[in-house]
Amino acid sequence: MPAPPKSEKTERRSWSRTEWPKEYDEIVAISANRANEAFPGSFPIDHNKWLAEVRERWAKLGSGNPPTAGKTKRKTVQKKQTTFGTRERLVHAMREAAVHLLFGVARPGARKSDFTTNKHPIPPRGFQVWCPRLDELEFIFYTDYHPVVPGRLLVPCGAFRTTAQTPPFEPLEQVWDPRGRCLWLHQPAWTDIKEQFIGVLEATYRRFSKQAGAMYLSLLNVRDEVCRQLRLSSNLFDTLLEFAYRDTMRTNFQLPKSISISLESDITQDQKGAVGLNRRPVYISNVPHSLIAIATTRTRSL
């Protein structure tokens, strides 16, 4: 779900000024293109339809009364309550447009509707509420802080199917779609996904470490990318990482080539702000961790 670049400049305007800044046409287009370039097919919306929907949402956001917090004598607070930041409104407009286009009664490009009513199944506010709930239920993984592209990244951790291979899928027999298909959650066992998980974990760490020029990296950034590639929930990632951490410690001196994983609870400077503190840490033995370092070791065969 694309968002404008975080470095985009903003200005404050009176709440009812709904004219669309012409330069935002390019920003809206670039944001969608960047998402599809990083993750091909992740935002399957026609450019013109996307731009028109964002513009419409922008205008609607300024049509009502400003969300004042009550009467106050402080003029600076009153002014802020009756004005808006242009980038902030663009973020909300793009989010509402994406929810409307991606999660309507029919999937993008689908001929048959998923619902029998024409009423939109989920409003933007409802979407904000349900994302963390579905994440805890391990139906999805989502993040607003992926290091590659700005915006919200959603990863389905299951699918509605008539049947699926078990493992790695587990049926959730209480949840069915209108076509009579059961929801199957992706829940691979450690013994089945061990090599793939460690391989993706190490490759992701190497790539990010090279980009950052540092040994200790944000474990949360690494987690987000590994979950995206392997379609894992955040809770399952915690479990698999704990297995990997303990297994690499036990087998470090027995394999011709192995890795050692170091996990730390310290936080980096960029994680100390309000945004960083909102991110869910990775829990290992019920202890939150936020930094990771991976080293490759080689031993001689005897």
216 lies in some domain = yes
Cα–Cα distance, 61 to 14 (Å, whole number): 12
**pLDDT given for residue 108 in this prediction:** 87
pLDDT over 70 at 66, yes or no: yes
pLDDT over 80 at 101, yes or no: yes
pLDDT over 80 at 70, yes or no: no
Quick one: 235 and 278 in the same domain? yes
pTM of the model: 0.85
State the average pLDDT over residues 139-164: 93
State the average pLDDT over residues 99-122: 86
Per-residue pLDDT reduced to its tens digit, 171-225? 999 999 888 999 999 999 999 999 999 999 999 999 999 999 999 999 999 999 9
**Lowest-confidence segment of 9-13, 28-32, 217-221 by average pLDDT:** 9-13
**What is the torsional sign of CA 283, 286, 290, 292?**
negative
DSSP element (H, E) containing 98 = helix 86-102
**pLDDT given for residue 257 in this prediction:** 55
Three-state SS for 223? helix
Looking at per-residue confidence, does 73 or 121 come out higher?
121
Quick one: 229 and 283 in the same domain? yes
**pLDDT given for residue 277 in this prediction:** 62
Quick one: 47 and 81 in the same domain? yes
122 lies in some domain = no
* Residue range(s) defining the domain that contains residue 174: 157-186
Q: For the chain, how many structural domains are there in total?
A: 3
Quick one: 215 and 249 in the same domain? yes
Are the CB atoms for 64 and 84 separated by under 8 Å? no
Quick one: 177 and 239 in the same domain? no
pLDDT over 60 at 34, yes or no: yes
Quick one: 179 and 239 in the same domain? no
149 lies in some domain = no
Quick one: 201 and 272 in the same domain? yes
pLDDT over 70 at 68, yes or no: no
Cα–Cα distance, 107 to 158 (Å, whole number): 16
**Lowest-confidence segment of 71-85, 119-133, 175-189, 278-292 by average pLDDT:** 71-85
209 lies in some domain = yes
